[in-house]
Amino acid sequence: MSALSTSNGLDARKWGVLLVLCGAIFLEGIDVAMLNVALPAIRADLGLSTGELQWVMSAYVLGYGGFMLLGGRAADLFGRRQMFILWLTVFLLFSGLGGFATEGWMLIVARFITGVSAAFMTPAGLSIITTGFAEGPERNKALLLYSGTAAGGFTIGLVAGGLLTAVGWRWVFFAPVVLSFLILVAALAYVPKSERPDRTGQRVDAAGAVTVTLALVLIVLGVERAAHSGITASAATLTAGLAFLVTFLVIERRSAEPLVRLGILRNGPLVRANLSAMLFAAGFFGFQFLVVLYLQELRDWSPLQTSFAMLVIGIDAILSPTLTPRLVNRFGNAAVILGGLLLAVLSYGLFLPLGADWSYAAMFPGLVILGLAFSLAYGPLTIAATEGIAEEEQGLAGGLLYTAFQFGAALGLSAVTAVSVAATHGESPAALLDGYRAGLLVPFAAAVLATVVSAFGLRSRRDTVPERAGLTVSSR
């Protein structure tokens, strides 16, 4: 176990490391939230279609999800600190370059590379926590604070995105550069150096990385093309994606140093956590995308009004480090995750009869319930996906989890876009509303499926319970 780990509480050095890593996940949260609010302004300035607009978001999450497994493996092979600092630097550079884009494709490329950098940075940071903090109360506390910080980044990003977009949407890309630089300086000072891993006889599974990335990209592209390219083109793209996925599995089965040791997928809690995370992210990102378009393009709300309207979702930044640990302590991970997913079903269900002139009071219950759902599901899913995994595979476990989150996000964005565009017949407000209503069925269905998958976890008594976890509650 790392020198960071002790049987007592978090000392000053551990707090320093945790704050740096929380800063990085905060950066990821604020970056995504600010962009989400700025999308209509970007569309208006660059003249993007709805399909192109969703690729501004999807390019990031596909780069993120497509290279996450390689990122997790790289953290295990080349050093967690080294990977974290290197790719945080790349994140800083390409986030800034996105602000100079004059064409849609330029922005999409910049966002893809920014996502790739996050794919290496995030599992490195997560594995620093999971290897540096003792499994049990100490690690659970660190992970719940970590996930709560991500939620805080999303919350602040909503407001910051509205303010910055009012000045100019390009500032949504420039602002993270300053934050990235501060985190980079802190990381150099606080994240401890570790021995270089022994890589004798080990290698990076490049073939596996390429095939899984192509599989994810083609599957998402196939779903998105369904609305405008016809069933034949969409089916062909999906088939190609599935073929690459099968190829990836064959490569992993035969490789002496696989990107993913397929035996890890025999871990039932890990598989349930990853499937639930994928479906939860699909619903969450797809829902946000549609609601922002509804508010700004159908209702003519300003970016700042939209930011404050969505801000209530950020209640999870308060509840994640306070309420969630108590509930996990009392009921265990599986029950809390299931509760969060059921609340997501309720939230999306409340939005299904969306009206053309809904008041904010009509939207408020669904939004606040979604914030509560996120606070209950996200942190416990992170614990469930990494608990009981050997230290040398913590990078892999983190990579699998974030691949699931990001692939789910990209799939959700493409699915709501395809359904919404297919159901929109014309450019009238009524036609737009029909498209939004149809698209909202996607997050609802994803949440229902996630709930079904998660429910199987209640059948296992191996889930963490208070007497065995000893989970401590943050004093915040």
210 pLDDT more than 80: yes
What is the pLDDT, as a whole number, of residue 27?
87
**CA–CA gap between residue 58 and residue 265 (Å, rounded):** 26
Kindly give, in sequence order, each residue whose CB lies less than 8 Å from that of residue 246, ignoring residues fewer than 6 positions away: none
Q: Cα–Cα distances in Å, from 385 out to 118, 277, 382, 409, 417?
A: 19, 9, 5, 18, 29
Question: pLDDT over 90 for what percent of the chain?
Answer: 33
Chain mean position to CA 145: 16
Overall average pLDDT of the 73-97 stretch: 88
Q: pLDDT higher for 473 or 85?
A: 85
**CA–CA gap between residue 312 and residue 293 (Å, rounded):** 18
pLDDT, one tens digit per residue, over 356-401 is: 999 999 999 999 999 999 989 988 888 888 877 877 777 678 778 8
What is the pLDDT, as a whole number, of residue 436?
95
Backbone angles phi, psi at 441, to 5 degrees: -65, -25
Helix 104-132 to helix 12-46 angle (10° resolution) is 170
170 pLDDT more than 80: yes
What is the pLDDT, as a whole number, of residue 299?
93
Min mean pLDDT across 93-107, 141-155, 255-269, 306-320 is at 141-155
Q: Cα–Cα distances in Å, from 264 out to 15, 251, 272, 311, 388?
A: 31, 16, 12, 38, 11
